[in-house]
């Protein structure tokens, strides 16, 4: 019998489980304040839903051996979008929904063998609003969540922002036959691939400048206006970014506009975002998302719209000290001990009385000789104290 979890899976200890739960509860409290309602998408979906019309690489989907093509969700947006377009189609828009749960991805490890990765996610979806107000609401909600997480200055939180429409417009000068390769080189920040493209030298230099174009939103927006001219896309983006600039500054979150930035999944066709913090050894992405109107339209509604984000719970937990989770740490249970086997009934009565008072308590399985011994055992077990019942 195997003694280790499957490659890519984890065993979580009680402290880690408690940390995950507290972070999810903190985020859920913020979602509810903003009017979002909880849903629970299934872990198992049909592959055509999970792959989101080709937006998610099928090599990342964990497939199940069943009579029909099924798999485990690599993210939750596609499942919620499907439900919004079917079972929730009759509800008034906008729909404000949130969910938390485990996602699964498969990849090839360094050894060349397949690995499955479990990730705990919590996030929101705002469905049915296509204007700038929805994008602005989503980003302000993201910052409100960031505030409740208790990030510190040492984490150097940075919100990366891009827009699918910007990149499409900037690639408009590239010959159609090379746009896909140029987009891949830019979003992958691959200067060698960009240099290898058979382009005119002027076009190549323009793309190389574009690859380096990132920084504070006002400065980048100015440069983009010089390249593209004024237009509604830049105007709307300026409005959205202006609506969050003051909050971001107050929270110590750096805003970085990067026209070539795209998240891992190719779900998005508008605003895209990623919240990155500095970990002990390297930057850590703790949230990502964006606008996915085209995904909603794949489920049969030409006027549908959607925007959302998801937090990576375990990455946040590993980034923070337990004392930084927010709120008071949970109190350890009281250890109920007894001097001799005949007192087990009395000990259980005492245990239940503590429970009725709302006090966590656990029973010592064997008798112990004294109050001092009970307190020593309580300390060893991480309990808050001990009650010892003498003879």
Domain's final residue, options 268, 299, 324: 324
Task: List own/partner pairs for 18-23 with CB under 8 A and 24 or more apart.
Answer: 18/330, 19/317, 19/320, 19/322, 19/325, 20/120, 20/313, 20/314, 20/317, 22/325, 22/326, 22/327, 23/122, 23/149, 23/311, 23/313, 23/316, 23/317, 23/325
Q: Is the pLDDT of residue 120 over 90?
A: yes
Q: Are 312 and 345 contained in the same domain?
A: no
The pLDDT assigned to 29 comes to 96
Q: pLDDT for 283-334, tens place per residue? A: 999 999 999 998 998 887 666 899 999 999 999 999 997 655 555 556 789 9
The answer to whether residues 256 and 279 belong to one domain is yes
| Residue 117 is assigned to a structural domain of this protein | yes
- Calpha distance 371→81 (Å, rounded): 59
Q: What is the mean pLDDT of residues 149-167?
A: 93
Residue 191 in domain: yes
8 A C-beta contact, residue 306 and residue 297: no
* Residue 339 pLDDT: 95
124 and 229, same domain (yes or no): yes
Question: What sign for the dihedral angle of Cα 30, 32, 34, 39?
Answer: positive
**Residue in this structure with the two tokens 């206006």, named with its chain if needed:** 225
Give the tens place of pLDDT for each residue, 198-225: 888 888 888 888 888 999 999 999 999 9
300, 324, 348 - which closes a domain: 324
Say if 2 falls within a structural domain.
no
Whether residues 309 and 374 fall in one domain: no
Averaged pLDDT score across all residues of the chain = 90
DSSP-assigned letters across all residues of 273-341: EEEEEE-SSSEEEEEEEEE-HHHHHHTT-TT--EEEEEEEHHHHHHHS-GGGSSSPPPPPPEEEEESSG
| pTM of the full structure | 0.87
How far apart (Å, rounded) are the C-alpha atoms in residues 19 and 318? 9
Share of the chain above pLDDT 90, in %: 61
pLDDT-above-70 percentage for the chain:
94
Please count the structural domains in the chain. Answer: 2
Q: Do residues 200 and 312 both lie within one domain?
A: yes
Indicate whether 152 and 171 sit together in one domain.
yes
CATH number for the domain spanning 207: value is 3.30.930.10
pLDDT of 348 higher than 60: yes
Per the CB < 8 A criterion, the answer to whether 161 and 241 are in contact is yes
What is the per-residue pLDDT across 5-22, written as a single tens digit (0 to 9) for each?
766 677 888 889 989 999
Give the pLDDT band (50/70/90) at residue 99. Answer: very high
Both 212 and 309 in a single domain?
Answer: yes
Q: Is residue 84 part of a domain?
A: yes
- Indicate if 317 and 376 belong to the same structural domain: no
Do 318 and 349 belong together in one domain? no
Does 300 map to a domain?
A: yes
CA 251 to chain centre: 19
Kindly state whether residues 229 and 376 are assigned to the same domain.
no
The pLDDT of residue 60: 85
- Residue where one domain finishes, among candidates 324, 345, 370: 324
Q: Is residue 375 part of a domain?
A: yes
Same domain, 84 and 213: yes
Side-chain-facing half-sphere of 296: CA atoms under 13 Å: 25
- Tens of pLDDT, residue by residue over 229-260, are 999 999 999 999 999 999 999 999 999 999 98
Q: Is 9 contained in some domain?
A: no
CA–centroid distance for 262 within its chain: 15
What is the domain extent for residue 376? 334-389
Tokens for 29? Answer: 């409290």
316 lies in some domain: yes
């Amino acid at each position: 019998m195997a003694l280790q979890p499957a490659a890519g899976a984890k065993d979580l200890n009680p402290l880690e489980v408690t940390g995950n739960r507290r972070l999810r509860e903190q985020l859920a409290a913020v979602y509810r304040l903003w009017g979002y309602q909880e849903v629970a998408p299934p872990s198992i979906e049909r592959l055509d839903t999970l792959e989101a019309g080709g937006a998610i690489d099928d090599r990342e989907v964990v497939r199940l051996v069943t009579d029909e093509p099924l798999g485990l969700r690599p993210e939750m947006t596609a499942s919620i979008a499907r439900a919004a377009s079917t079972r929730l189609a009759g509800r008034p828009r906008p729909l404000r929904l949130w969910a938390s749960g485990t996602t699964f991805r498969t990849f090839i490890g360094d050894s060349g063998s397949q690995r499955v990765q479990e990730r705990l996610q919590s996030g929101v979806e705002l469905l049915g609003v296509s204007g700038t107000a929805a994008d602005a609401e989503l980003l302000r909600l993201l910052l409100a969540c960031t505030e409740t997480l208790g990030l510190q200055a040492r984490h150097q939180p940075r919100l990366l922002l891009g827009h699918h429409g910007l990149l499409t417009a900037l690639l408009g000068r590239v010959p159609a036959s090379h746009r896909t390769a140029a987009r891949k080189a830019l979003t992958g920040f691959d200067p060698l691939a960009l240099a290898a493209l058979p382009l005119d030298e002027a076009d190549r230099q323009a793309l190389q400048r574009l690859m380096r174009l990132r920084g504070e939103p006002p400065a980048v927006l100015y440069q983009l206006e010089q390249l593209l001219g004024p237009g509604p896309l830049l105007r709307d983006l300026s409005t959205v970014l202006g609506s969050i600039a003051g909050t971001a500054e107050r929270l110590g979150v750096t805003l970085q506009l990067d026209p070539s930035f795209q998240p891992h999944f190719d779900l998005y066709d508008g605003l895209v975002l990623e919240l990155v913090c500095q970990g002990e050894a390297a930057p850590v992405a703790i949230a990502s998302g964006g606008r996915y109107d085209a995904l909603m339209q794949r489920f049969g509604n030409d006027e549908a719209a959607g925007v959302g984000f998801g937090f990576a719970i375990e990455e946040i937990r590993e980034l923070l000290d337990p004392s930084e989770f927010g709120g008071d740490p949970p109190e350890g249970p009281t250890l109920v001990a007894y001097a001799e086997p005949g007192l087990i009934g009395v000990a259980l009565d005492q245990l239940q009385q503590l429970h009725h008072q709302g006090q966590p308590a656990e029973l010592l399985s064997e008798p112990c000789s004294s109050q001092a011994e009970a307190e020593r055992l309580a300390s060893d077990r991480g309990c808050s104290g001990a009650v010892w019942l003498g003879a």
